[in-house]
A and B are shown apart, each in its own frame.
Chain A
Amino acid sequence: MLEYFTLILVCQLIGEFVVTTVDAPFPGPVVGMVLLFVFLLIKGSIPEQLGRVSAALLNNLSLLFVPAGVGVMVHFETLGTDIWPLSVALVVSTLITVAVTALVMVFLNKRIPNHGCREDRGDV
């Protein structure tokens, strides 16, 4: 288990290194995700222990946003006099984005045959 947590950290570290070196508009961990993905492609399957490490991290992904979330409440005053226009724009724009992205995906998935998507009741 420890070796795979180390592998994840190594991917992230290389990611951070690449991003700072080439000054890419990308966070290091996302590059790390691509690296780990390439590792899995080469290996062809997910080692059981790696599956466990990732489950431990991803099953509680929400928890990891809590410290940053607390920071938001503390820095709420940075919103200043713009608080109302920003709040309304933020909520409405986020909902429109969800709708547009989903509809484009559904439309194109129907257009492009041979994907065999399961139509089940979702609540994500």
Chain B
Amino acid sequence: MQEFRDIWVYLSTSPLLHLTLTLAAFVMASIVYRKAQMNPLLNPVLLSVIAIVVILNGTGTSYDTYFEGAQFVHFLLGPATVALAIPLFRQFDRVKKSALAILASVVSGSVTAATSAILIAWYLGATPVAIISLAPKSVTAPVAMGVSEQLGGLPSLTAVLVILTGITGAMLGPLVLNLLGVRDWSARGMAIGTASHGIGTARALQVNELAGAFSGLAMGLNALATAILLPLLWKLFF
């Protein structure tokens, strides 16, 4: 028993354990997701996060210890974002034809995301700091945190809200699009990428490459649009 304890103590401090936990949880979540014909409600990010949080809480493991292993996965987000250039290039002919529609929809999406979030949170009585931190929620985390800080919000709170927005958009966005009868893959991709950045784009790429290309493009353009427009909008409101 003592020997087992020693092994556990050794393993729990090595990055291998939590890297394996991250991959194993995701592999299982993906099996469930695919069995359910990629039902957006069974989002694999959400399922694996819940499983991992339960295990971390159960074993009394801190996030810092967990992240020592998980950082290797987290690191690949940067290279994966760069790699979005490939689906974009494959679909470039289609993108060129819709250039004007793309710009208009990203700008309206960016303004809608910030304005509706600010108004609803304000109406429901959220504190001003919370409202500012929520405003850039649809944009990829590094940009959202920068904008939030610039306007006087809490970047750490913004990071949490950005991830939750990504999961929400990936889970419920497809249902909204079905309800509206939107069938054009380019419009579906634009909507998911604008509203829910990379997590939405991950979902779009799994379903259709054209949607994935538009979603990745929308994510990049919305980062730019929001970084420019949100500070202006904010001045208008307050």
Contact = CB atoms under 8 A, between A and B. Distances in A.
A117 interface: yes
A62 B26 contact: yes
B113 A65 contact: no
B105 A105 contact: yes
A74 B224 CA distance: 29
A17 to B, nearest CB: 13
A124 interface: yes
Contact of B134 (A9, A15, A86, A123): A86
Interface string B122-147: 00111100100010011011110011
Interface string B153-186: 0101101110111111100111011101011111
A109 B184 CA distance: 9
Interface in A1-52: 5, 8-9, 11-12, 15, 25-30, 32-37, 39-41, 46, 50-51
B184 to A, nearest CB: 5
A71 B70 CA distance: 11
B154 A70 contact: no
Interface size on B, as a range, is 35 or more
Contacts of B105: 101-102, 104-105, 108
B100 interface: yes
Given A51-B86, A94-B168, A120-B185, A65 B199 contact: yes
Given A90-B165, A94-B173, A25 B67 contact: no
Interface in A63-109: 63-76, 78-82, 84-106, 108-109
A66 B70 contact: yes
A51 B90 CA distance: 10
Contacts, number: 364
Interface string B14-40: 000000001101100010000000101
Given A70-B53, A86-B130, A122-B185, A105 B142 contact: no
A99 B76 contact: no
A66 B228 CA distance: 29
Contacts of A103: 180, 182
Interface of A: 5, 8-9, 11-12, 15, 25-30, 32-37, 39-41, 46, 50-51, 53-54, 57-76, 78-82, 84-106, 108-109, 112, 114-124
19 contacts: A8-B82, A30-B220, A39-B85, A59-B205, A61-B201, A68-B77, A70-B66, A95-B176, A98-B195, A100-B109, A101-B106, A102-B176, A109-B98, A117-B186, A118-B210, A120-B183, A122-B182, A123-B174, A124-B188
